[in-house]
Structure 1
Amino acid sequence: MKILERIIKFFAKGLLAFLLLMLLYFVSAVIGSVIPVNKDQPQGGDITIYLRTNGAHTDFIFPVQNQIMDWETLVSPQHIPSKRANFEYISFGWGDLEFYQTTPQWSDLSFPTAMKAVFLPTPSAMHVTFEPMPRFTQPVISVDISEEQYRDLVSYVAKSFEINAAGGVIPVRDLHYNQNDAFFHAKRSLNSFYTCNTWINNGLKNADLRACLWTPFDDGIFYQYR
């Protein structure tokens, strides 16, 4: 009987410790999300980019081509099923590769996939979609930035791709959500402290744009641009 009581106490303490850690995590996320960095921004800018969320995951949306970057030189439209090349915009999202493979819709999310993505060092991927214009069916905000800030964002996003020996991006075979998107192998691994939204937030900070001190959630990013 005493052995059973010890086992129960052991698991009760473990559960309590886990709940306290989760509480600390969420409190830290809230605090980090409301503390701004690069708060003072000049009015206007020469280039308009967009930030879009599906309610959990944030993407960058850039012009496909301008005087600073032609994204088709890095990500060829030949990688997308439609093979089209007359798009005005291109979106970039970063995340866990297996999560992308098994969860095209949030309704497809399974507990094992989520836990593996958060707690194990698994491969990541870049999700790239060519678009005629930003889809305003989802929450989207526009941000006017300087050419220098856009150069920094371009460098940040481009350096997130895994590159092969020939200097090209590496497509993930047979993975598409629609006719105009493709996935590519990426650097780093997702975890609870470095999520898809942390990747976006770090890109904003890297370009001296308004951002959170730290956030794992999309709400923090959009809070800074409310």
Structure 2
Amino acid sequence: MHAWRRTLLIILLLPVLVALLYFGVACALMAWPANPPASKKTAAPAQVPAWVLSNGIHTDLAFPLRGDGVDWTQTFAPAHVVAAPPDAEYIGIGWGDHDIYLYTPTWGDLTAGRALRAALGRNGALLHVTYLRRSDLAERAHRLPLSAPQYKALHAYVLASMPQGRAIPVPGAHYADNDAFYQALGSPHFFRTCNNWTGDALRQAGVTVSRWTPFDFNVTWHLDPGRP
């Protein structure tokens, strides 16, 4: 009887221990970032005023809509959204689970089955792209000053996240008038979340960021809060 009790206790505690280990590793790696900050003498000059946006769970990259050699409207056409704001100055780009994006506009819509499929990487991925006004970055932005080569690397990373580098919109899929969804490569899972996509982008571009970024705070920890 005691053996059965111990077995049952282990079964019940195992998910808790795994969750604690997962969270603990994510936190510990923030103290050992990729691309440690360069000295002011060796750091490349920041030229592009980009941002990381966080809603407390999910992160997006935000870039100037046009400028510095990139015109995002040539990739994500305004015609793909219902009505792009005429005063839009930025574009927000995030990667995430296909079903979570399309069928859970609020966390109250998330079901256990859908969450399990997402954790196992069964749903595929989408890019979510939003035309943003300057005021949209007022409360949830973290400064991401980029050199020209870093911006070029991030631009290439976004294009490489789509089939053959092409923006293929999902017909009729919108949260609001200013956004659209696009087919994307890969599939989020327990060890590569939507925030890992953002973190991987920053690491490849040479930005200081945690070596593993399953949570939003792993992405923003080494960035400064701010607003345009």
TM-score (norm 2): 0.87
2:220: which partner in 1? 222
Structure 2: stretches of 5+ with no match in the other structure: none
- How much does 1:87 deviate? 2.9
- Answer with 193-202 or 106-115: which moved more: 106-115
1:76: which partner in 2? 77
- How much does 1:67 deviate? 3.5
Q: CA RMSD, aligned part only?
A: 2.2
CA distance in 2, matches of 1:194, 1:184: 19
CA distance in 1, matches of 2:166, 2:220: 33
CA distance in 2, matches of 1:46, 1:191: 34
Instruction: Specify which of 196, 204, 211 is matched with residue 198 of structure 1.
Output: 196
- How much does 1:32 deviate? 1.8
Aligned positions, number? 220
- How much does 1:33 deviate? 2.7
- How much does 1:6 deviate? 6.9
Using the aligned pairs only, state the percent identity. Answer: 32
What letter corresponds to residue 202 of structure 2 in structure 1? L
Q: Within the alignment, does 1:27 sit opposite 2:39 as a pair?
A: no
- How much does 1:34 deviate? 3.1
TM-score (norm 1): 0.88
What letter corresponds to residue 135 of structure 1 in structure 2? D
Show the 5 A alignment for 1:58-207: 58-82=59-83, 87-133=88-134, 135-163=136-164, 168-207=166-205
CA distance in 1, matches of 2:119, 2:4: 28
Contact 2:62 2:93 (8 Å CA) reproduced: yes
- Answer with 128-137 or 179-188: which moved more: 128-137
Q: Within the alignment, does 1:15 sit opposite 2:16 as a pair?
A: no
Structure 1: stretches of 5+ with no match in the other structure: none
What letter corresponds to residue 33 of structure 1 in structure 2? M
- How much does 1:100 deviate? 0.7
CA distance in 2, matches of 1:18, 1:40: 36
Q: 1:225 to 1:107 in 2, by over 3 A?
A: same
What letter corresponds to residue 57 of structure 1 in structure 2? H
Contact 1:53 1:138 (8 Å CA) reproduced: no
